[in-house]
Structure 1
């Protein structure tokens, strides 16, 4: 939580009951904008408490440190009626709950609304009918693995980025804020539901992939080539690879000019015939064009190729590993050193949003259950003696 009363979401309080990626990301997005987000976990931690990657200490770098930055933490025995009653009171006091947990007695939308009629209750599902799903099963279900990977590969190829979890977490934050805005205007609460499968399905539809299939054209698997225009990776003399993309006629003209291939490309256009100022012709004849361009890259180091391309409009980048990317983080304004309990000092990102020239720096994720006294004191007016009694009785951790 940003300690700044001018933060965009200062004054918004959110109780988060969540695990894994999407919902914690939604909660952290709100916290980085100034909301007071209280994450409630089972005593001892939720199912993602030890999820990889791990720090040398064994702490999860994504659950414990990555997706809970800036929140406060409370652990509660959610199996007990007293524990659920405590969380229900917190949700009513905060007025906003975000969750992907299965509904528990006393914590359903209908029950919580009786306590707080203007409650905003945002819940993430796998499928809208209640069936479970995760990013990897949703991705497999929609067809993306059969459009990913080398052209001559027969089976599906998964990708490492949980794209639907990320999109879903941001959609969840937007939906919650839309409901909160309506509440501010009308005094009415709202029950927001979002399904992971629906987010992936909507994205596939919005990008035209589904309409393309309905109209009879299968999305091809083309390896590292760019679909619909010219873009691919090229090897350099020092064993590196460079990704090059052209999306406009200007991009293409600059690429041809910097590689000195104007006459050769003009001759190829005349021979085919083709007009490489058009994206469809660049895509159709991408193999021939790549064959002409490859020797220019192969004769240069990655640094030399980059220096030549840097003065043009061509879209390009060197390929890097995560380890290589990590070595230059200290110079990036998004990153700052963060000392995370159980992990130690490391460079971590703040919010990527820049508002009036200001960017929220990263804040440590809370130690599990560390904020019981302050959370219960502020939201429920419980004195320290009562908090201590709840801990002694095993209701909170």
Structure 2
């Protein structure tokens, strides 16, 4: 590792790893968030004066400030740098020369245009691992297209599976494609770091958001390749997976029950006081239940409509049947399980006050990650980084600021 010594205290498993993050929006920064959560020093480069676009994003704001920024930029250091200026790119080159990892999510060719091509960066720093995430990857006919997660969700076939067959396919209310691509980039970076430990050399990690969404498609492609079948939208359930659906309750709520395994279905029949269903040839095994899915859903729904959601959930839990309510943000924040596990946390902030956000995933037993601070102010760490990492004087940093470089 390049910026620590062997005696420093470990604050997360990635302590001592220096990451330079370039780019904006979600996929690359989400990768950086995960690395920072797990202890890496992540230096986020932002355009001077205007900063990252995520400082403005989010459905709700607090006093005009984005409530997404404190989450996606948590644990990161903010360095403003004009990468369109020669002086800015030279500073970036020097920082990358000291780093373990570079994460970028520009359109392919942007780094090359700025004379920051991977080949040049790795010539100066052979151990560098470069994570490149873009809409369609670094190669292929579509590589030069702009692309967001929603486009990748559509083109990968994932969006075609969302919703009901008689309506246009809706999107999930989250940027799933970007986040999944960020996770795959993170996996690739950690894999490349292990490879570096074996070979002494870094490498480039290339992730297209479309690739990431395709990787999540389970057996959809193999089903088509082998049989010509095209899986279609199926509403609240999955085709031939039964019973696994939303079911109504007497108090006007919904409960998701997933009892499609043979043993689990038998336990569901016991909870329903209908043990004979487990021996019914129409429902005796996974394939048979799938063939009679609509009938089985109707039978289960007739039972669930006789109980309140809480009573139903208690009975299913007692019988070992997977079930859960449809929670919104208020439900999640109030759930004692999430709070006790640290899946929902509050982080102090002078700017925002206490910020409620999701905790660190995954949970490591020996040297876990943590949220040390929320997303920083624009350029908050300029002086620290430029003086400590590059040896510039405060006067030199001030002069760079006057020139608009930082």
Same fold (TM over 0.5): yes
Q: How does 1:1-397 map to 2 (within 5 A)?
A: 4-5=9-10, 7-43=12-48, 44-62=50-68, 64-101=69-106, 102-103=110-111, 104-128=113-137, 129-151=143-165, 153-204=166-217, 207-214=218-225, 215-230=227-242, 231-263=244-276, 265=277, 269=280, 273-274=281-282, 276-328=283-335, 330-356=339-365, 359-363=368-372, 364-396=374-406
CA distance in 2, matches of 1:12, 1:308: 48
The C-alpha deviation readout for 1:250-277, integer Å capped at 9, x for no partner, is 11011111111224x268x3xxx52x23
Cα gap change, 1:9 to 1:357, in 2 (>3 Å): closer
Does the 8 A contact of 2:247 with 2:255 survive in 1? yes
Mean Cα displacement is larger for which, 329-338 or 28-37?
329-338
Q: What is the TM-score normalised by the length of structure 2?
A: 0.89
Does the 8 A contact of 1:91 with 1:112 survive in 2? yes
Runs of 4+ in structure 1 off by over 6 angstroms are: none
The residue aligned with 2:3 is none
Cα gap change, 1:73 to 1:170, in 2 (>3 Å): same
Q: What is the TM-score normalised by the length of structure 1?
A: 0.91
CA distance in 2, matches of 1:135, 1:197: 8
Does the 8 A contact of 2:333 with 2:344 survive in 1? no
Secondary structure (helix, strand or coil) at the match of 2:153 reads: helix
CA distance in 2, matches of 1:84, 1:7: 30
Aligned length: 386
CA distance in 2, matches of 1:351, 1:48: 20
CA distance in 1, matches of 2:320, 2:201: 50
Q: Which runs of 5+ in 1 are unaligned?
A: none
Q: Which runs of 5+ in 2 are unaligned?
A: 1-7, 138-142
CA distance in 2, matches of 1:88, 1:350: 33
Mean Cα displacement is larger for which, 377-386 or 74-83?
377-386
Does the 8 A contact of 2:158 with 2:213 survive in 1? no
CA distance in 1, matches of 2:84, 2:278: 73
Cα gap change, 1:278 to 1:325, in 2 (>3 Å): same
